[in-house]
Chain A
């Protein structure tokens, strides 16, 4: 059901982005990457936030099922992180003429956040499965979430930037139709992440059950 909603919303979002949303006066056609790039980036943040929430629940309740849920959320967040970096890089190439700019704090901080969560897998698979690994992974996922507001606020605190700021204290700096298109795309990427999360969690749980069954039969 969620997968169908994601497909419908993304199809609608892409159609609106290409055929309905007005062309940006400053950036022209290239601004249309915004609808997918920002939606994907915010979804990555949401996944990492969800992973931290599940990690907190694990440390609080000591229920091991939250470990797999937190791990799955990090997994999906990293997938969306890759997409954020790739779509952002394409946008940078059109707008700034370069694929990457090390001088941009938000780009570098997002890369740091992405690498931090990529290292989560190294930590996880370098220790034996069990409560110790679950606790270590949970603490790591919780630390990572601190980087999200830093990454988000970095551009607002920086004085010299070329990365555009669209969401300010005065609200979204775009027309109503542009904002609506963005919301449809964002709802689509969130539904996609939710659907991938549910499927991935199901697969990982099945994998664990099969492992237990194999050990019982051995």
Chain B
């Protein structure tokens, strides 16, 4: 693999890595939202009873 090929591949991999990182961060965000929603549902249930 030539130096140019390595750099070009690295540039494309950077974009791929950014997308994957975004998906991971977003997964954590969804988990947090789900947790908060469960807590609120529990609080609403307690208030009702």
Contact = CB atoms under 8 A, between A and B. Distances in A.
A218 to B, nearest CB: 9
B10 A82 contact: no
A192 B18 contact: no
A86 interface: yes
Given A33-B8, A90-B10, A217-B43, A196 B33 contact: no
A213 interface: yes
Interface string B7-49: 1101110110011001000100110010011001001100100
B25 to A, nearest CB: 10
Contact of A83 (B2, B18, B33, B44): B18
Q: What is the interface of chain A mostly: helix, strand, loop, or mixed?
A: helix
Contacts of B3: 94
B15 A40 contact: yes
Contact of A213 (B22, B40, B47): B40
A54 interface: no
Interface in A55-76: none
Interface stretch (A140-148, A160-168, A173-181, A202-210): A202-210
A203 B33 contact: yes
28 contacts: A28-B4, A32-B8, A33-B8, A36-B11, A36-B15, A40-B15, A79-B18, A79-B22, A82-B18, A83-B14, A83-B15, A86-B11, A86-B14, A90-B7, A90-B10, A90-B11, A90-B14, A91-B11, A94-B4, A94-B8, A192-B19, A196-B22, A210-B33, A210-B36, A210-B40, A214-B36, A214-B40, A217-B44
Interface of B: 2-5, 7-8, 10-12, 14-15, 18-19, 22, 26, 29-30, 33, 36-37, 40, 43-44, 47
